[in-house]
Structure 1
């Protein structure tokens, strides 16, 4: 059965909305007159006979009940509540309406009734138009009237449309646990991703006693409501639609959007392939700014401990042949000890000035690193200000007290004071209110005088996912309530920091890397960071998950990404279950980063003293230096891709195989096992312990030459290759050996092929 057609005159093409009565179809061209109609069985949007969107009745519904979002310290648990769900839908009219922002000044509006909503009926209107600034897609706006039942009003809507069992889905931000999102119902809500996310037993430990700090397979820092399918279809919600939303792919023949409000808007479109789909998506969201070229030259060393320690580790690395582009010194603002199982944990003082005990001559030290070693410095900043009144070595400014006095924090109306975020004993902080114009001016001035006063080259731009969602949360200029604002904050945070960088004229120098993101955050950040993974080989929250996150982020418009080399989260328990970083994991993670990421940056972890560090001994530093040299050797190739494909088209640097092999069923199911680095390298990193040979699936329609042996294989088969330490499975695709930008990497392979990497 064919459903309805909407005809839209567009760049010489006709896009049609069809209304079907049995076998008969009624066509309209947007801008032409519409006859009101009823008893319509369905709708379909086509362009040049290519289906864009199809739905059959009922495709709109609504329900009552307030969803529950509870938790603390950014760890939020969502429980869906659906009451009095409407069971029927009718269409009573289809007509032209005046519509600002459309190509013709008008739109097609489908209206009718939702029936059997707990004894009531509710009217709705679904409007389609072609945006005048993006004429290759169909915009929609669905609005459901408030219910007549004031005691139990409708609260959320459902919007359902056709799919088919062979359509797979990718994107929706930082999804860590799935290849295709088919068969999943994915919540879009920014929060702490959790420690474990389903990897056991660590998740259960995190979720003990009603806590949700372990998370699950759906928890993510990002809130990006956009996906791309293997049919080339692109669906996204607009920047204005920031409520909690579920994209439900569990029905093999349909997609359902469950949105926590009675109105939502977005767009549908269809591209020829998944690469064009990314371009179409980012024509709306924007594309990531240029990544400065200084990051290409080597590792960014994550170090804590003060000036003497940093200088010593830099000098040792240079003596071992480690190319060093920069250092990342998150403890520049000072640390304090926080009680934990077995051992105290070092936490940062979130008061944005240099700590005079660790970095007493901070501006001079930063400059000396650059002048003496050609090493740049990255620092750390986040959305919080911590109360430093108990800081034992003192402070010059207590920014928390200043902001509290000026009422620059997100506030709680019950207490009529700052909405306190507690991050463990001795650390209480407020979240800066980015809707407050006074805060924006005050904080920007503080950034210039406290943070950018040293010649740093950027920082980790942390958090963004912590704004409370309770009814008593308030902001200075709250257009909507805190529940809607929560998913907006990450984009505001990225935009705000980008504005400061541009005001200072540092856009060609500064690297600001974020883990939280929402719709269109990518237009303001030049580097995405995959967040905090466990220091293990886990699927849902270990090294494997970092690859999967970067793949889905790439299909969400984030072309430049990386992860913490070595991971972040250690887990120590009183029951004797511990997760700490081994030298092997650190080395294998470095291999993976060298051949996957835009930037090579390490992290000491949340409990550095229990982890193998790259500087622990000559073996770990040697392995790290080797991986940094591999990363640097790929710089000409990587930069070519960043300039010719990432910047102008938003094609991701790391590409899941499905992008090239859409009809290959095995390629569709690859999450972390392999990926393309640009178009010319095919990579299968070693992501299991004690693994020295790897079975690798090579997709069809190409040849693949294993760089470490020179052996060439035909696609469409599994091959087994040797993968000793230092040898991730990297293949040249087709005639890639002729590409000049790969010459430095092939020289590295030839020069270092006999290097013996030790793990001790």
Structure 2
């Protein structure tokens, strides 16, 4: 170990010295210095884990983010010892480890530097808390940019910024407030067209500096635990996203209704008011699938209870809503009211399931019910108990649960004191280590309980706080935002960032939780949220008498709101397919421009534009009274959704922004599937799928995935994957289809609309038969035909 002055050992930073020996055990390599050991695990040709034992003793190899069954998938792996370095070689990258100090350089197979240690790993004693502070610093390469890191209220590009992960209840947060609710210690680097990722799997308070302190260095460190990080090579940023999601776990498919529109407020009560809201949606023909019940549905805010006064017959209420096509989602917080007459408090106390302070006293604090205690979700026995509690909600008919206040939040003191003790799955620790995964494990236990008792239905869970890997079981939202234009912009930034940080099932409180939006702000927010995977209006409107429902702003706003919520339902097949791609391949559903065109430096600082899936590009309206905005389109050809006007990418264009439109573009060559109009998922069988086909003078591929939209039949092959190939010529357009699957969807017909034809079509050919096109089939560059769904190829000419 090489100490650096000054002489007080508790203020010294220690660095590894010369490698004394090394060993190889399968795909694990160990490099021993005088005291420090570096463990290198080669997981795949592009993923390597680096783990350091500062004083020669590794801690337990355990993660709440990475599944224990993560397997290696190597094509080629070798190690060579050179005079100055060890060189680990895979099919795609080379890892050079300096013999003198364990500093690491990673190159591609052609020798181009991808990532390189600056000071590398080092550490110091943490005198005031115990243990060690572990550091790693990397050189910032020329023109390097950084992305990711989850829930941060800042520009997408992280260069020059510094951030912290220590989940906090940040009511009314503002731009650059940090930390926020979620703890995702994963970032991307991009330079010279090469993308990579770093996932720092450490649950202590972690910090990241992207050239803020020293412009030449990117560093990350934790106030406890191990230096344990995964390096992920792209070279495409989307490749990095796929690998990161594979490491931390892919989600199950949600019930399709969870992708529909959801309505909430703090709070709808009593039960008659909830039914009134449901009737308003149906009478006004505004699609909606979910109504949320906030804390006032409970008896004195006691979790897993219903108010005898306001909800005397919860099962009857849920059935009434179900008959109208609504699912009910209820909020559950971690605070359990201290009440000797409260069954759940009695049971948890008797079984010692609640968190305790260092001296053995219960961790008590005030939240909504008053004085509360808090389950220790890091204890597997407590998680099993928590799972069992959801039977009483499922028996009532509840279909989803919303976990809130789980940073954990405590009135007056903010969160748990650091001396609170946790089980940590058999490795007892203080709250310093468990804080960032408290809400994470609460939502996991919630999801497991719902999954058990809802079977064969799929569960739906929302959480406010989480750690890396939460995408395996939950959706998230951006927390207690405000009804301001800046928060509208932050919603776009945060949702994009969360998506590329592994958690795509993300949304914001439409219109803002705090305060009252005017009709223009509400509509612009609703338009943006139409293209976010989780779409919910929610507000703190119990503080006033204002209702933030789609009809609350007058008839003009209601008309536009209906238009966009209907558009959301039309796009459900596309959205569901995009979710399937995320669940199977790990590709983020929302994609910032740098992830779409990383070779284009113009995209590195583009925050407004993003893509939903493979083919839709959105640029939200971010200012009041905006009648026009500049929109940047990446390379390629694009159609403006509202009028089919075409644009060549690689530059900016002025786009008019009337209140009833949001700049929305379709990639040329795409096939966009749409449902007919519906008021809720499953309102009636879908017998016809609409396919919008956009002409392109080349070959473009699209995909459609479908299954029952609920249950787990898809795991047993009950699904269809339909692949489309569009090829455009000077006088023809060819649409080919490949169908794989055995799910009987009930859809027997396609209505196909061909957009942007550069020729006047006279006929179409299907299965060798030629049919003439009449004037009613052709208008303004579009052709509309209806065909049996079994077609394999259609030629328009």
TM range (shorter): 0.7 to 0.9
**Deviation of 1:727 (Å):** 0.7
Question: Aligned pair in 2 of structure 1 residues 486, 296: CA closer, same or farther (>3 Å)?
Answer: closer
1:147-196 deviations in whole A, cap 9, x for unaligned?
99997887312212233132212111112212111111221222223423
User: Which residue, out of 713, 718, 723, partners 2:657?
Assistant: 723
1:694 aligns with 2:637: no
User: Which residue, out of 52, 55, 60, partners 1:145?
Assistant: 55
State the partner residue of 1:73: none
SS in 1 for 2:451: helix
Asked if structure 2 preserves the Cα contact closer than 8 Å seen for 1:409 and 1:419, the reply is yes
Asked if structure 2 preserves the Cα contact closer than 8 Å seen for 1:534 and 1:567, the reply is yes
**Deviation of 1:648 (Å):** 0.7
**TM-score relative to the length of structure 2:** 0.69
**Deviation of 1:299 (Å):** 4.2
1:644-655 mapped onto 2 (5 Å cutoff): 645-655=581-591
State the partner residue of 2:118: none
Asked if structure 2 preserves the Cα contact closer than 8 Å seen for 1:156 and 1:261, the reply is yes
Q: Distance in 2 between matches of 1:190 and 1:432?
A: 18
1:421 aligns with 2:358: no
**Deviation of 1:552 (Å):** 1.2
Question: Aligned pair in 2 of structure 1 residues 295, 129: CA closer, same or farther (>3 Å)?
Answer: closer
Q: Distance in 1 between matches of 2:497 and 2:467?
A: 14
State the partner residue of 2:143: 166
SS in 2 for 1:557: coil
State the partner residue of 1:472: 419
State the partner residue of 1:324: 288
Question: Aligned pair in 2 of structure 1 residues 388, 656: CA closer, same or farther (>3 Å)?
Answer: farther
1:633-672 mapped onto 2 (5 Å cutoff): 633-643=570-580, 645-671=581-607
Q: Distance in 1 between matches of 2:5 and 2:24?
A: 26
Question: Aligned pair in 2 of structure 1 residues 154, 289: CA closer, same or farther (>3 Å)?
Answer: closer
State the partner residue of 1:3: none
SS in 2 for 1:486: helix
Q: Distance in 2 between matches of 1:61 and 1:664?
A: 42
**Deviation of 1:665 (Å):** 2.3
1:505-520 mapped onto 2 (5 Å cutoff): 505-506=454-455, 508-520=457-469
Question: Aligned pair in 2 of structure 1 residues 480, 474: CA closer, same or farther (>3 Å)?
Answer: closer
1:248 aligns with 2:209: yes
**TM-score relative to the length of structure 1:** 0.73
Q: Distance in 2 between matches of 1:259 and 1:556?
A: 19
User: Which residue, out of 561, 564, 571, partners 1:624?
Assistant: 561
**Deviation of 1:320 (Å):** 1.6
Q: Distance in 1 between matches of 2:463 and 2:327?
A: 19
SS in 1 for 2:540: coil
1:683 aligns with 2:610: no
1:96 aligns with 2:60: no
1:529 aligns with 2:477: yes
Question: Aligned pair in 2 of structure 1 residues 553, 505: CA closer, same or farther (>3 Å)?
Answer: same
Q: Distance in 1 between matches of 2:7 and 2:521?
A: 48
SS in 2 for 1:378: strand
Question: Aligned pair in 2 of structure 1 residues 151, 519: CA closer, same or farther (>3 Å)?
Answer: closer
1:443 aligns with 2:369: no
User: Which residue, out of 541, 558, 566, partners 2:503?
Assistant: 558
Asked if structure 2 preserves the Cα contact closer than 8 Å seen for 1:288 and 1:560, the reply is no
Asked if structure 2 preserves the Cα contact closer than 8 Å seen for 1:400 and 1:429, the reply is no
Q: Distance in 2 between matches of 1:83 and 1:670?
A: 44
State the partner residue of 1:276: 239
Question: Aligned pair in 2 of structure 1 residues 438, 636: CA closer, same or farther (>3 Å)?
Answer: closer
Question: Aligned pair in 2 of structure 1 residues 254, 472: CA closer, same or farther (>3 Å)?
Answer: closer
Q: Distance in 1 between matches of 2:237 and 2:380?
A: 41
1:491-516 deviations in whole A, cap 9, x for unaligned?
32222122212322437432111121
Question: Aligned pair in 2 of structure 1 residues 288, 150: CA closer, same or farther (>3 Å)?
Answer: closer
User: Any gaps of 5 or more consecutive residues in structure 1?
Assistant: 1-37, 39-57, 66-81, 113-122, 199-215, 337-348, 390-395, 571-579, 751-760
State the partner residue of 2:271: 307
Runs of 4 or more, structure 1, over 6 Å off, are: 60-65, 146-154, 745-750
User: Which residue, out of 159, 166, 169, partners 1:192?
Assistant: 169
State the partner residue of 1:34: none
State the partner residue of 2:648: 714
State the partner residue of 2:724: none
Q: Distance in 2 between matches of 1:740 and 1:289?
A: 22
State the partner residue of 2:158: 181
Asked if structure 2 preserves the Cα contact closer than 8 Å seen for 1:694 and 1:722, the reply is yes
Question: Aligned pair in 2 of structure 1 residues 138, 319: CA closer, same or farther (>3 Å)?
Answer: same
Q: Distance in 1 between matches of 2:668 and 2:489?
A: 27
User: Which residue, out of 217, 222, 247, partners 2:182?
Assistant: 222
1:288-318 deviations in whole A, cap 9, x for unaligned?
2211112345444556122211222221222
Asked if structure 1 preserves the Cα contact closer than 8 Å seen for 2:292 and 2:329, the reply is yes
Q: Distance in 1 between matches of 2:518 and 2:421?
A: 45
State the partner residue of 1:346: none
SS in 2 for 1:704: strand
Asked if structure 2 preserves the Cα contact closer than 8 Å seen for 1:183 and 1:252, the reply is yes
Asked if structure 2 preserves the Cα contact closer than 8 Å seen for 1:298 and 1:629, the reply is no
1:489 aligns with 2:425: no
Asked if structure 1 preserves the Cα contact closer than 8 Å seen for 2:124 and 2:133, the reply is no
1:286-305 mapped onto 2 (5 Å cutoff): 286-300=249-263, 302=265, 304-305=268-269
Q: Distance in 1 between matches of 2:182 and 2:447?
A: 18
**Deviation of 1:623 (Å):** 3.8
**Deviation of 1:229 (Å):** 2.2
Question: Aligned pair in 2 of structure 1 residues 197, 740: CA closer, same or farther (>3 Å)?
Answer: closer
Q: Distance in 2 between matches of 1:293 and 1:136?
A: 34
Q: Distance in 1 between matches of 2:125 and 2:378?
A: 34
1:386 aligns with 2:334: no
Question: Aligned pair in 2 of structure 1 residues 328, 149: CA closer, same or farther (>3 Å)?
Answer: closer
Asked if structure 2 preserves the Cα contact closer than 8 Å seen for 1:235 and 1:266, the reply is yes
State the partner residue of 1:130: 42
Question: Aligned pair in 2 of structure 1 residues 83, 723: CA closer, same or farther (>3 Å)?
Answer: farther
Q: Distance in 1 between matches of 2:527 and 2:7?
A: 51
**Deviation of 1:421 (Å):** 2.8
Asked if structure 2 preserves the Cα contact closer than 8 Å seen for 1:537 and 1:687, the reply is yes
1:363 aligns with 2:315: yes
Q: Distance in 1 between matches of 2:483 and 2:124?
A: 54
User: Any gaps of 5 or more consecutive residues in structure 2?
Assistant: 57-122, 410-414, 676-688, 693-750, 756-797
Question: Aligned pair in 2 of structure 1 residues 703, 399: CA closer, same or farther (>3 Å)?
Answer: same
SS in 1 for 2:444: helix
Q: Distance in 1 between matches of 2:511 and 2:664?
A: 20
Q: Distance in 2 between matches of 1:148 and 1:267?
A: 22
Aligned residue pairs, count: 601
Q: Distance in 2 between matches of 1:290 and 1:64?
A: 56
Question: Aligned pair in 2 of structure 1 residues 583, 305: CA closer, same or farther (>3 Å)?
Answer: farther
Q: CA RMSD in A?
A: 3.3
**Deviation of 1:568 (Å):** 1.0
